[in-house]
Amino acid sequence: MSGTVGDDMVDLARELPLFGAVARVARRAVRRHAALPPLPEAQVQVLRAVEANPGIGTGAVAERLQLVPNTVSTIVGELVQAGLLSRERAAGDRRVGRLSLTPAAEDALRLWGAARDEVISAALRRLDDADRRAIAQALPAMRRLLALLDVDEPGQDTSRSGTTTGQPAAGSRTTTDSTP
């Protein structure tokens, strides 16, 4: 890295796309290993949001994933049509739809999760101990960075997105949210 602190931060910032590449390659490896039909990333994110919050509404999913509500509504419709989500109207307000995973979605997410664990664990085992420790030690800092990047304005309080402890706040996005 360069000699000044500012240059070091710029150099480090330029390396962040590496994390996106790791996530994309990991998803492809999991899909190959599990031989499951691929779902678009946005659909996986919606399924994970519903899995974490059964009965959540479309608007809340959109807010949680920071997507436009009509985009999420379209995705939800596709997942309902595919038999992966069910949508039931709330008894008190028929305009409100509550989402839940179908047994097919639960099975698929369980299979993808098991395949993810197997594929990623196998790759981690091929690293030496020092590399595995370095990755484990970097995780809290990466969570804090995610929380800082996930705020609306630079320097804004991060309490809605994450915590200073390195653990994601309830409802915040994590790296596993988008991994099948």
Look up the pTM and report it.
0.69
Q: What is the pLDDT along the chain (180 residues), one digit of tens a residue?
A: 445 556 888 888 898 889 889 988 998 888 888 877 778 888 989 999 999 999 999 999 999 998 999 999 999 999 999 999 999 876 766 666 799 999 999 998 998 889 999 999 999 999 999 999 999 999 999 999 988 987 755 555 544 444 333 344 444 444 444 445
- Domain residue ranges in the chain: 5-149
Q: How far is CA 152 from the centre of its chain?
A: 19
Asked if residue 56 lies in contact with residue 50, where contact means CB atoms within 8 angstroms, the answer is yes
Structure-block tokens of residue 129: 């101990």
**Residue-wise burial string across 38-64, b where 16 or more C-beta atoms lie within 10 A, e elsewhere:** ebeebbbbbbbbbbebeebbbebbbeb
DSSP code of 53? S
Q: How many residues does the chain have?
A: 180
Q: Please, what CATH class does the domain formed by 5-149 belong to? A: mainly alpha
CA–CA distance, 85 with 50 (Å, rounded to integer): 9
CA–CA distance, 109 with 47 (Å, rounded to integer): 8
